[in-house]
């Protein structure tokens, strides 16, 4: 989660590694990120709903924050 200027995850990808990018202007982006966060939460919590790590909880919260920001992006269109 980040922006074009701040995201280091794109720099971590190998030159020939497949990647998938969602932009805030893509009208389904927020929904896709929330769906990902829900699935991530399921695999990152125990049977009582406790996070398996603080890092996982932070990643989940960052995803929800990103989805919130995407939802409020002023321009919406079909993905490129």
Q: Can you give the residue ranges of every domain in the chain?
A: 22-71
Q: Are 70 and 33 in contact (CB under 8 A)?
A: yes
Mean pLDDT, consecutive 10-residue segments, the chain of 80 residues?
Answer: 68 86 93 96 94 95 95 88
Please tell me the pTM assigned to this model.
0.81
Query: Is 4 in a helix, a strand, or coil?
Result: coil
Q: What is the pLDDT of residue 79?
A: 76
Q: What is the pLDDT of residue 10?
A: 77
Q: Containing H/E element for 54?
A: helix 54-71
Residue-wise pLDDT tens digits, 7-30: 667 778 888 999 888 999 999 999
Q: Are 41 and 49 in contact (CB under 8 A)?
A: no
- SS3 string, 28-50, reads CHHHHHHHHHHHHHHHHECCCCC
């Amino acid at each position: 989660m980040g922006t074009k200027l701040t995201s280091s995850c794109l720099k971590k990808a190998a030159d020939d590694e497949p990647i998938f990018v969602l932009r805030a202007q893509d009208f389904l982006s927020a929904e896709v990120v929330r769906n990902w966060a829900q699935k991530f939460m399921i695999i990152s919590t125990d049977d009582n709903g406790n996070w398996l790590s603080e890092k996982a909880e932070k990643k989940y919260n960052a995803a929800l924050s990103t989805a919130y920001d995407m939802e409020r992006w002023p321009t919406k269109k079909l993905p490129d």
